């Protein structure tokens, strides 16, 4: 490799560029097109700078100057055909990575709305959980909390309002509409109500394989095991003792 004018650098020492020096003849043979045992240009293309220049002129012309990220393309082919083509190469996946939420029945239906839950119980391949909640006008997702994960929300349609309660007397109330994102910390009580005249549909997501929630009512173990005076202090309804159920 030539590093200075008039000198050839080989194995860490400078060799004079003499016409009779062996290194001089070796550098001539590399990249030459003569006969004998010398390699041809397809094996030793010569100067890296020339190779780079040739690649830029030919190969880089088809590469986009910027990453398109999202771009328009043609419609895909038949799904069954593409699945068969992939199965011939990699085989059929032992587990399904698709879940038809639109075809499942709601887990809970009330006069105020419904909810569909997708987690590791009905979709074993997923390590996360989600719930699709639909509230009718005036409907309320009652006060509850999630003991195992934070809650990330995406509002699909309609208008709603959420109240979140933290430690002590700290609380916050926020309005949401389609396209908004909400967030609730783990174990923080919160409620969501429909404030519009159409259905409120939103998505709840949890970084957990189970979609677990706890409610603040008399049937919850925390409330059933709480002293009666706590119920008098925290509840507006007349005091009563919650029976302990086995």
The pLDDT tens digits of the residues spanning 128-140 come to 999 999 999 999 9
pTM assigned to the model: 0.60
Q: Is 4 a catalytic residue?
A: no
The span from the CA of 139 to the CA of 114, in Å, is: 10
Mean model confidence pLDDT for the chain: 75
Strand, helix or coil for residue 154:
strand
Residue 202 has pLDDT above 50, yes or no: yes
**Integer CA distances (angstroms), 141 to 70, 111, 133, 191, 246, in order:** 37, 12, 9, 6, 28
Tokens of residue 113, six digits: 């709305």
Strand, helix or coil for residue 45:
coil
Among candidate residues 117, 143, 145, the one with its CA nearest the CA of residue 209: 117
Q: Which of 4, 82, 114, 204 is catalytic?
A: 204
Tokens of residue 218, six digits: 């008399």
The span from the CA of 110 to the CA of 157, in Å, is: 19
Per residue in 46-95, pLDDT tens? 566 665 666 566 555 666 677 888 888 888 889 889 888 888 888 888 88
* In contact, 194 and 137? CB cutoff 8 Å: yes
CATH architecture of 105-215: Sandwich (2.60)
């Amino acid at each position: 490799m030539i590093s200075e004018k008039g000198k050839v650098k080989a194995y860490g020492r400078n060799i004079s560029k003499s016409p009779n020096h062996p290194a001089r003849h070796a550098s001539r043979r590399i990249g030459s097109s003569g006969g004998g045992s010398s390699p041809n240009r397809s094996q030793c293309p010569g100067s890296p700078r020339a190779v780079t220049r040739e690649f830029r002129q030919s190969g880089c012309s088809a590469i986009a100057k910027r990453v398109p990220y999202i771009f328009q393309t043609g419609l895909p082919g038949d799904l069954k055909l593409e699945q068969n083509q992939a199965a011939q190469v990699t085989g059929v996946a032992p587990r399904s990575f698709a879940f038809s939420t639109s075809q499942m029945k709601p887990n809970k239906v009330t006069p105020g709305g419904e909810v569909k839950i997708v987690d590791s119980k009905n979709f074993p391949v997923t390590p996360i959980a989600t719930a699709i909640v639909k509230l009718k006008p005036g409907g309320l997702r009652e006060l509850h909390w999630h003991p195992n994960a934070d809650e990330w929300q995406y509002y699909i349609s309609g208008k709603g309002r959420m109240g979140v309660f933290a430690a002590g007397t700290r609380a916050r109330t926020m309005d949401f509409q389609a396209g908004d994102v909400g967030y609730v910390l783990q174990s923080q009580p919160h409620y969501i109500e429909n404030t519009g005249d159409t259905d409120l549909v939103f998505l709840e997501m949890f970084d957990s394989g189970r979609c677990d929630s706890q409610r603040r009512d008399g049937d919850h173990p925390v409330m059933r095991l709480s002293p009666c005076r706590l119920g008098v202090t925290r509840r507006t309804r007349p005091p009563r003792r919650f029976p302990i159920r086995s």
